Amino acid sequence: MNDATALAAAIAQGRTTARKVMEASLSACDAQADLGAVVYFDRDLGLARADAADAEAALGPFHGVPFLAKDLGGTAKGLPATAGSTALRAKLGISVSDNDLFAAFGAAGLLAFGVTATPPFGLALHSAPEGLPEARNPWNSALTPGGSSGGAAAAVAAGIVAIAHATDAAGSIRVPAACCGLVGLKPSRGATPGGPDFGNQLMGLASELVLARSIRDVRTTFDAVHLPLAAPPLNAPFRIALALPERCDAAQLSAARAAARALQDAGCVVNEVPAPDDLGREAHEIARVILSVSLGEWMDAMGVPDDALPPLAAAVARQGRATPAARLFAVSRQMASLSDRAKRLFTSADAVLMPVLSTAPPKIGADDMNLSDVDAHFAKMESCAPNAALANVAGLPALALPFGMSDNLPLGLQLMGAPGADKTLLHLGAMIEARAPALTFPGPIAGLPT
């Protein structure tokens, strides 16, 4: 399998070196600049970290593997974190330390050397940083790789790196995974480190991990960084609830049904159930309030005026500031209630299987941050990724992975589980992956020996 695990094995076996692999990733950044996936990289930093890896014994499962940070979320020493914003780009410098998650990534052997594209403040399901080119989908450059971790997805699908950091507050790991044929786990609430400042947790909406080409890469990363969390037992035969929103097109529904058959072939019990659309819409509205209040508070804390923001972000921030404290408190209570109600999805099922997207990835430029119709923008996000915010608001783990192709594009699906069921989902994902049609990615992984 061509993935980060294979790349680490090649380094460990002496078939290549961390420096040679890093040089290949740096060259790929230059050669694929038009992809818009990588917005910043430090050649000297990358080579210094690779040389250090070659000089020491392997310390983790991904020893010597190049790694890219998303421009939103956890901070990596030596790299900027500006949330795709021109205003923050001007205010913030290079991070002087790793946060807890990046320290764990580093202990696993990953070598951070650059930053991937994200839309301003993660407010879209595309990845067009303010003032920079929009990231493009390596499978079809006329389409988006998704968002807000779209730069990370484009970099992995194109082979610039084998694995990259990603975050998810309303689908931002799973949507790019579906757009680009990748695997991405939105972990359970509290399953991965968020300190020391916990600045991107958004009242528990946000989780962070990676995008990769294989279940084993995601599972190895999760094992390396996760915090202790109560988990349901792994008991076969697994019970799968197949939930198919009517808003999804025929190709998306077909992929989910095919994955359900694969799980049946693996010995799981599959039953079709109504899609949790009411819970999903409620979760989307809760997430919208939290994202808006967070952005308003964040910009005030940073001293960034509305006229320094894209019109859409400014409008979202204004709505956040205008939200009464009583309304936010009510939303926090509603969030707790929805989390409890969502657990009932798993009284007779170990996982819920459903599509990630309603249709194929949108075209480049389909979202415009220069508009200020907040209602229309959030409605478009919910329509693009039905029920995605449910996992975030309820604190559920959700695993996205590919199954088949349509019109030369990969199709994605997701498994949601009860809180703490991250490893159950990865186990089920491995069953699906073993039975899924093989994907031939748009580009080989940089530095992986053939």
Q: How confident is the model at residue 51 (pLDDT cuts 50, 70, 90)?
A: very high
Average pLDDT score over residue span 260-268: 98
Contacts of 50-54 with C-beta under 8 Å, sequence gap 24+, read: 50/17, 50/18, 50/19, 50/21, 50/22, 50/23, 50/111, 51/18, 51/19, 53/11, 53/18, 53/109, 53/111, 54/17, 54/18, 54/19
Q: What percent of the chain has pLDDT over 90?
A: 94
Q: How confident is the model at residue 62 (pLDDT cuts 50, 70, 90)?
A: very high
Token output for 363:
């075209």
pLDDT at 200 over 80: no
Average pLDDT score over residue span 250-257: 98
Token output for 356:
């990630």
The class (CATH top level) of 4-275+339-360+376-435 is alpha beta
> For position 42, what pLDDT does the model report?
98
Tell me: cis bond preceding 348? Omega within 30 of 0 counts.
Answer: no
Strands 163-168 and 110-116: unpaired
> Locate tokens 């299987």: which residue?
353
pTM above 0.95, yes or no: yes
The domain segmentation of the chain, as residue ranges, is 4-275+339-360+376-435
- Measured CA to CA, the distance from residue 90 to residue 81 in angstroms comes to 11
**Which amino acid would we find at residue 344?**
R
For 327-377, the pLDDT digits (tens) are 999 999 999 999 999 999 999 999 999 999 999 999 999 888 998 999 999
Q: DSSP letter for 266, please.
A: T
Residue numbers annotated as active site: 70, 148, 172
